[in-house]
Structure 1
């Protein structure tokens, strides 16, 4: 048997009701004549602007946070790199010290074989009768040769301590040397700064002295120029006085009228016959020249009038030909327009009689704008 008392799934009902409410609100907003005709949805626009401003602000804050995070990451990476470099230098220094103190060629077990050295710890120090046929009765760490090993170990430790002390002393000497060099460098910088100050002071003093000398030279030159101008004006005044005293105006010299390039009214007695004949001859030449120029101007105006008349006739002929061509073109255009009108009229008749025969009813238009989608 099927169970009929199952609980109703309210999720689907709530989703359906939510969609219906959204559809009703959308229809109310879209089919509102006031909002559709008079303007925009200001509330929606303001909400969109507020959301946009909030989004821009959030993006700015995110960019600032990302920048700070990048700066922190860069600083951390640089610090890690410095620590890694320092760690590598320490490891390299420790490795060098270990090799110098713990891996000496003279401390190896086969130093007497490879380097022809004596005194290396080994099986030679033991009694030959203590070994058997296999020659493997003595191993490292057992009590055989303990005294020799201890003495060798003490010597190795002593060398190690001596090397460490020497290294520490060397580092102290290097530190003192670096501090001494740094002090010398600071002292040199101070001396250089003092020298630069002294040089700058000397340069300023030299510049002031040079400027003072230049100003003094300019003043002396100005005084000398004024003195020369004063002497020139005095000389010109004296020359003018001398000229007035010895000129022909005061002495009334009769030869002045002949030497003068212009007529002197107080000494002129009239023109001579030669001067009058020259004037008459020049006047006749000017009259003949003027008559010749007048004839030439008349001939030029006559030729120009003939040229203008010829150009006017040619222009009239061209205008008449253009009017004829325009008349023919308009006649062709009228024929073409009449043909297009007949074709358009036939097309309209075909559409009305053959195509547009099924007219839509009022029910056809009522099926639109019933949903917001």
Structure 2
């Protein structure tokens, strides 16, 4: 029974390692489906990742600008509607005031420019009790005014009615003015509440956009760090592969030297085998079969 020496174990381990590397090389070389000829797939993957990051950044920026533009459009529309309503209410208030307090009939010179003056005009004198019989009209003279007290009483009653009518119109105008002021104040408060709500909505939207941008930047930073880490690992793998390639080349050189030495040794052994074969032909009649020769040249190198 032979004892395994450390040198024998190292040789067995090296032989097993070379066999495993040979099997992996055969799988990689002889499998056309998994072999890629030409092109740097890692560089392509990095370029695709960069393009996706750029497209996502541009899309987020466009969405942020669109949200701000929509918000500004809403604020502009509300401001224009408020200004239009204020102008409309002001014009309505002015028209109501003119119709209530500035009627053409109440003007002092309306009788001079009344287009219906001739239609409304009465004859110069209808009777002796006609109130339009003034002194300048020379229709009635002093001493002929028989209805003086009735006329005076009628004028006082008429003045009283005019005074009461003016008071009623003044009260109605004050009430209308107060209603208009209350309506204007209520509308202004509603507009202020709407503007405040829009401002809060804008602030919330801006915060949401900032949070989204911050989250996107965080994800982009993490992706960039992960990509840098992957590139670092790739560089390390490339360095290890390069070192393995150099080691493999050194081993090839050593195997070449060993093969050269083995060739010299095999040449001498061939000579001995040839002489032994001649000897064996003389003493043996057995010949080697085809299975004996098919066990050679089964490797990729």
Q: Give me the TM-score of the superposition, normalised by structure 2.
A: 0.38
Q: Give me the TM-score of the superposition, normalised by structure 1.
A: 0.32
Relative CO higher for 1 or 2, CA cutoff 8 Å, sep ≥ 6? 2
Larger radius of gyration: 1
